[in-house]
Structure 1
Amino acid sequence: MLDILAITTPIFAIIGLGYLARAGRIIGHEPLQGIGIFVMYFALPALVIRALTQNPLGEVFDPDYLLAYGAGSLVVFALGLAFTLGLEHKPLGTGAIQALGMSASNSGFIGYPVAAMVLGSPAAMFLALNMLIENLLIIPLALTLAELGRQTGNGFRGTLHQTALRLVRNPVLIGLLIGVLLAVMGRPIPAPLAKAIDMLAGAAGPAALFVIGGSLYGLRPKGMVRDMGQIAIGKLVLHPLAVFGIFLLLPDIDPLLLTGALLFACAPMISVYPIFGQRFGLSDITAAALMVSTLGSFVTISLVLWLMRHSGLFALSSG
C-alpha cells in the first residue's frame, strides 16, 4: 500500500497546495485563472504535440483504444442521460450536462499526472487519444443536446454550427492538429523549438494540479447531495467500470492500453465542467460535483492502483 500512496500522495499534495494558496490568500482568483490559461493554451497543447511527434503516428492512434474508451464513455453518457430524463424527468439540457460530468474525464489536469507517475512516457500518448475522444465526441455531443434543450430557436443545424465554432477555437484541438501535421510530415522539430515544447509540456502536470486545488477553494455543496452524488458516482465508479468492461470484450487485451484507459477513466470530470454548467443554469451543482469528485478520486484512484497491483491484467508489477 505504501507504493500506492507514493504515487497518489504527491499528486494530491500539489492539489492541496493550490487549495492552501487560495485559502491563505497567497494567490488570488485572477492569478489562478492566469495559470489555468497558461496550462490550457500552452502547456497542454505542447504536451499533445510532444506525444504525437515522439513516436510514429501509427503507434499513437490506436484504433482499439479509441473504440473501447470511446464506447465506454458513450455507454455512461447514455445511461446518465436516460436516468435523468426517464426516471427523474429533468429537462434535456440538465440531463446532457449531468451525463457530461459522468463520462468526460479530467484527462489533462489529473488523468495525465496520475498516468505519468504510473506509466511514464506512454501517458502522453493516452492523453492525446483521450483528448480526441473527449473533444470530438463526448463534449460536442453533450453541448449539442444541451443547446437543443434550451430551445434557443437556432435549430439543430444552427446548434451544430455554434458547437463547431467553439471546437475549432479549442487550443487542445489546435495542438492535436499541429501534432498530427508534424507527425505526417515526418520532419524533426528544430532543436530550440523542441526544447521549448518539452519545457512547456513538463509544466502541464504540476501547474494543472495546482489550479485544480485552488479552484476547489470556496466551493460549497449547499444541499445538492442527491444530484452531486449521482454525478460523482457515475464518474468515479460507473465510467471506469464501463471502460474496463468494454476493454474485456476485445479479443486481445494489451495490458498497457487497459492500464492507461482505466487510469484516465478514474479521474474526476473535466475541470471546465462548472463553466459548461453555468451556461445552462447549473453552476452550483456542477461546481459541487467537481469538488466532491476531485476529493473522492483520491480514494478511488488509490483503490484502483491497489487492485492493479494484485491483478495480472495490467502493465504493473504485482509487488
Structure 2
Amino acid sequence: MADLLSVVLPVFLVIGAGYLAVWRGLFSDSGVDGLMNFTQKFAIPCLLFMGISTLDLEQNFDWRLLASFYTGSTICFFLGMFGARALFGRPWQDSVAIGFACLFANTVLLGLPIMERAYGPDSLGPNFAIVALHAAFCYLLGITAMEIVRADSKSPLRMVRTVGLAMFRNPLMIGVGLGFVVNLTGLPMPGVLTEAINLMIRAALPAALFGLGGVLYRYKPEGDAKVIAFICVMSLIVHPAIAYGMGGQVLALSEEQMRSVVITAAMAPGVNTYIFANMYGAARRVAASSVLIGTALTVLTASIWLAVLP
C-alpha cells in the first residue's frame, strides 16, 4: 500500500499546496481564477488536442472500453438521481444535480496524472478515448434530464439549443474536436506550432492541480452529510466496480484497457459538477462539498483500486 500511495500522493500534494497557499493568503482568489482559466481554456484543451490528434483511433476507440466506462456512468447517474429523490426526499432539480455529481468523474485533472504516474505516459491512449466523449456525454445526459424535470421546459427545440450551447462553448470539447480534425484528415502540423503546444502541455496538469486546490478551499463542507456520502460511494466505489465487472467479466478488455477504465471511473466528482449545479441553482452546497470530500477520499480509494488491478 505504501508503494501505491507513493504513486497517488504526489498528485494530491500539489492539490494540497494550492489549498494551503490560498488558505494562508499566499495566493489570491483572483489568482486562482486566472490560473484555472488558463488551464481549462487553453493548456488542457492543448493537452487534449495533442492527445487526440496523435491517437491511434483504430486501436484505442474500442466500443468495449467505452461501454465499460459509460455503462457505469449512466447507472450511477440514475441511481444518484432516483436515490436522492426516494432516499432523501430532494426536489427533482436537486436530484438531477446530485445524479450529475455521481456521473461526472474528474477524468482529466485526477485521472490523467494518476494514470501517468502509475503506468507511464504511454498508457494514456485509452484514457484519451474516454475523455474525448466525457464532457459531451455527461452534459447531454444531465442537461436533458434537468430540462425534462423543469416546469418551464416545454419546448424540445429549447432543450436541443441548451445542450448544443453547452457542448460547443466548452473549450475542452473544442480541443477534442480540433484534435479529431487533424487526426482524421492527416493535416500536417508545423514543427514550431507543435513545440509551442507542447510547452503549453507541460504546464497543463501541474498548474491545473495547484489551481484545483485553490478552488477546493472555497468549498467548505456544510451539512447534507448523508447525501454527500451517497455521492462518494457512487463515484468512488460503485462506478469503478461496474467498470471492473463489465471490463473483466463481460467484455474481456485487455489489461491496459482495464487499468484505464477502472482508474478513470474511480475518480472523485469533477469541478464541473458544481458548475452544473450552479447553472441551475440546484444542490450547489451538496455538489461543492462532494467535490472537496470526494477528492480527499480519492487518495485512499485510488490506491485500493490500483492494488486490485493486475
Residue matched to 2:296: 295
Structure 1 gap segments, 5+ residues each: 309-313, 315-319
1:267 paired to 2:267: yes
Residue matched to 1:22: 22
TM-score, normalised by the number of residues in structure 1:
0.91
The answer to whether the 8 Å contact 1:97/1:143 transfers is: no
Residue matched to 1:184: 184
Name the stretch that deviates more: 259-268 or 155-164: 155-164
The answer to whether the 8 Å contact 1:106/1:270 transfers is: yes
Tell me how far apart the structure 2 counterparts of residues 92 and 246 of structure 1 sit (CA, whole Å): 30
Name the stretch that deviates more: 160-169 or 143-152: 143-152
Tell me how far apart the structure 2 counterparts of residues 154 and 289 of structure 1 sit (CA, whole Å): 31
Change (3 A) 1:75 1:133: farther
Change (3 A) 1:251 1:150: closer
1:174 CA drift (Å): 0.8
Within 5 Å, which residues of 2 pair with 1:1-319? Answer: 1-279=1-279, 280-308=281-309, 314=310
Counterpart AA for 1:95 = S
Counterpart AA for 1:260 = S
Tell me how far apart the structure 2 counterparts of residues 184 and 169 of structure 1 sit (CA, whole Å): 22
1:154 CA drift (Å): 4.7
Counterpart AA for 1:46 = C
1:238-260: CA deviation from partner (whole Å, max 9, x where unpaired): 11111111112444320000001
The answer to whether the 8 Å contact 1:47/1:124 transfers is: no
1:173 CA drift (Å): 1.0
Name the stretch that deviates more: 102-111 or 79-88: 79-88
Structure 2 gap segments, 5+ residues each: none
Where 1:269 maps in the other structure, the secondary structure is: coil
Name the stretch that deviates more: 223-232 or 81-90: 81-90
TM-score, normalised by the number of residues in structure 2:
0.93
Change (3 A) 1:259 1:139: same
Tell me how far apart the structure 2 counterparts of residues 107 and 251 of structure 1 sit (CA, whole Å): 22
The answer to whether the 8 Å contact 1:107/1:131 transfers is: yes
Tell me how far apart the structure 2 counterparts of residues 293 and 236 of structure 1 sit (CA, whole Å): 8
The answer to whether the 8 Å contact 1:128/1:176 transfers is: no
Change (3 A) 1:122 1:62: farther
Counterpart AA for 1:38 = F
Equivalenced residues, count: 309
The answer to whether the 8 Å contact 2:92/2:149 transfers is: yes
Name the stretch that deviates more: 11-20 or 269-278: 269-278
Tell me how far apart the structure 1 counterparts of residues 298 and 62 of structure 2 sit (CA, whole Å): 27
Tell me how far apart the structure 1 counterparts of residues 205 and 7 of structure 2 sit (CA, whole Å): 14
Counterpart AA for 1:152 = D
Tell me how far apart the structure 2 counterparts of residues 302 and 178 of structure 1 sit (CA, whole Å): 34
1:107-146: CA deviation from partner (whole Å, max 9, x where unpaired): 1111111011112224542342222332222222112212
Where 1:26 maps in the other structure, the secondary structure is: coil
Where 1:105 maps in the other structure, the secondary structure is: coil
Where 2:25 maps in the other structure, the secondary structure is: coil
The answer to whether the 8 Å contact 1:94/1:146 transfers is: no
1:82 CA drift (Å): 2.5
The answer to whether the 8 Å contact 2:231/2:290 transfers is: yes
Tell me how far apart the structure 1 counterparts of residues 17 and 62 of structure 2 sit (CA, whole Å): 36
1:157 CA drift (Å): 2.9
Name the stretch that deviates more: 48-57 or 25-34: 48-57
Tell me how far apart the structure 2 counterparts of residues 42 and 290 of structure 1 sit (CA, whole Å): 23
Name the stretch that deviates more: 277-286 or 256-265: 277-286
Where 2:219 maps in the other structure, the secondary structure is: coil
1:193-222: CA deviation from partner (whole Å, max 9, x where unpaired): 111121222222111211121112143222
The answer to whether the 8 Å contact 1:93/1:148 transfers is: no
Counterpart AA for 1:115 = M
Tell me how far apart the structure 1 counterparts of residues 66 and 303 of structure 2 sit (CA, whole Å): 25
The answer to whether the 8 Å contact 1:36/1:208 transfers is: yes
Counterpart AA for 1:103 = L
1:165 CA drift (Å): 1.2
